[in-house]
Structure 1
Amino acid sequence: MKSEFIKMALVLGLLSCVGPFAIDMYLPAMPAMADDYDVPVAMSQYTLVSFFIAFGICQLFYGPAADMFGRKPPLYFGLTLFLFASLGCALAPTIEWLIGLRFVQGIGAAAVMSIPRAIIRDRYTGTEATRLMTTVMLVVSVSPMLAPLVGSLLMAPFGWPAVFYAVALATVFSLLLIYFVLPETLPVVDRVPVKVSAMRDALNVLVRDPHFIGMTLIGGMGMASFFSFLSIAAFLYTDYYGLTPTEFSFAFALNALGFFVASQFAANLCERFAGVAVVKWAVSGFALSAVVNLLLNFAGIDNFGVLVGLLLVGNAFLGLVVPTTMVLSLDDHGPIAGTAAAVGGTLQMMLGAAAIGIASAVFDGKPLTLVAAIGACGVIALLICIVTLRPSPQTQVTT
């Protein structure tokens, strides 16, 4: 069981890296991309927005498809589309072509966002599911720590298109993993009939479940804060604070390190204190660190070390929030885990895309935009947590 657990964690982690790899690896290239195409900064940021919109919406199709046809066929389709779109991005003649191809890339990448969650739910629930989810995130965390550095190293001799060729090569490896290593976890007998009504019924169950919606939105605000960082960090760190692309990669990796380290304690904390309690305390910590960062900026304290330090703390709390809310949102929806994971992923990606759009539109080259966006995400997440996890009247009476 232990060897199977480790194998599943490695395979699902590597598959789940594909989408983040396509984002994190080319972040250092965004300023150079804007220069090469001779377009404003906002135009290069739209390559993120278009990716996330497709990445979010298309999970609604992959989730039900995974419940109807099994987990592996939609993965083959999505990654093949992602492979050809990545090659197209490397050859894009204009920024408009790149934005469009990033949208197609997002359509393909959506497959590896929701389906691995459903595969986890096929095999495990409760603490074991949280343990596997955090182990998968251990693998995924390598992406934001190493991908920007790899991207900056590739850029130096070969230019930014080399980033997309590297992503295409990683996609080929992922397809081989699915074919030779990943088992099909949804037996034919358990598959949902290929009916529109089945998808409609599953959606009705999910949208009427306040616990599912609440957990999804809490995790989504954490995602939105990170996506705000993605859209601004490369320009803020290099233009405002004067970091080189390589130095930016290390600073970016430091933020990811907080998430990575904390996520490894999520399962043990959930086992000891229960998942709901972990979410309450972790969301409170995330909101507090975000608000402190904002207040310090308002007070005129503009120090790179302080900014990065508080972002590190906030990401550490998110390392507890994100995997735990993912598991809690799916616990009661085993028969429709694919659809539930897709709906949850779509909502979270749409929040992320909206955060990128808003942050990019108001970004003036200074850190206030970043800390204000993350502060807003933290406060909203805390408010949703209070509403979603408040004791029910029956519990209060019993107590």
Structure 2
Amino acid sequence: MRRTISFFLTLLLAAPAVLADYKITQRTVLGDEFSSEVTTYAKGVRERRESKLIVSGDAQMAAMMEQMMPPMIEISQCDLKQDVQINPKTRSYFVNYRDWSSVPPEKLARRPKQKMVIKGTATVSSTVSDSGRRQQMFGLTARWLKHVNEIETSADSCDGANRVRMESEGWFVNLTLESETCPIPRAEFDDLGGCRPRMIVKSAQDPGFLLDGTIKIFQNGKEQGTQRVEIIELSKQTLDQSLFEVPAGFTEVDSYAELTRPSRGPADTTAITTVSNEAGARGSKGMKTVAIDFFSGSTSKIDQNELRSLISSRLSAAGISGYAVTSQADLISGNFANVVAVDIEKAKESTGAKIGGLFGKVTGTSGTSKAGDSEATISITLYAQDRKTVVATATATEKVKGSSNDAVKAAIEKALPAIIAKLK
């Protein structure tokens, strides 16, 4: 679901009344307990979006949600054909290119070594219906419109046959000149690896900017949730160009997963056991430290932080220190006894499962009783200290009621004991 609804068209129609630089703040109400607030700054073809999740009532839940979904800054740099996601807390950023085929090889080399597969098609249509109603809002002529986005994936695509429909209805305005809009569709923030469909644009009508209204989401004909969009502030002002650049002193990371990982600071190697190869070495044997590498394969639908932490906890229970590396540099600089690598060969969700997770919770559609089945096939490889010699391999296939992340978790639990046995 997240993959599908991330395809938003950015072609705008010409409008008689527009703003130059502007700032707009909106609140999206997702349920009784959850809402999100997004402030958008625009200057020419560049945009900056600052978002945060608001949880009402339970302070403990609010703290947990902020840890899971930290406030982020997204900068769209259409002129550079890229989008930048920034994590202010960790002072880091991730660049997602709109056309991966044009990325310089030296930049790709720093990314996780995961294969990009283009499979099947995703047909996108965007249509607008005008009710004829008009009113003035913030000095602009607002039109009451219904905007329908439909995305249909083919049976041979990454996620199989699926149809998502988003209906946005309310007051729309045009905020930018047609010459200052971006003709290149925005990319989804995802790791490099995984599977993407080839996108086919059937129609590209766009109503402008939704100031106030509702958004309904349907999947395969069934309504999944409704969101209420409310405007808090809209103002015209001259914005500094620095708002649309990466702040000085911030560090680029290799993946979106690494960007959203809680701050660890520099790699802590004090817990890493030094492995001596000297014959006849004496002394007590320290706890063996094993590196847990980033996953490869079909990783787009899973939470690597959660699953690598699971592996670390299972290793700890067996008397082995499991260290989830924060970058490929950790593998090179750390003196690990072994390296654990997980390849996700398949992670397939049914329609019901795709609606699960956080989105389902905030829209009131969660519940394992309504979740569909998901299936995952994984292989875990244990490498020697040289990171090349294979010590052991274990595979597993599991089918569960829930998300693909749940299926991968179950498969790891099934395969990991065989790997741990080789480490003892």
TM-score by length of 2: 0.22
- The structure with more strand, counted as a fraction of residues: 2
Structure number with greater CO (CA < 8 Å, separation at least 6) is 1
- The structure with more helix, counted as a fraction of residues: 1
TM-score by length of 1: 0.23
Please tell me whether Structure 1 or Structure 2 has the larger radius of gyration of its CA atoms: 2
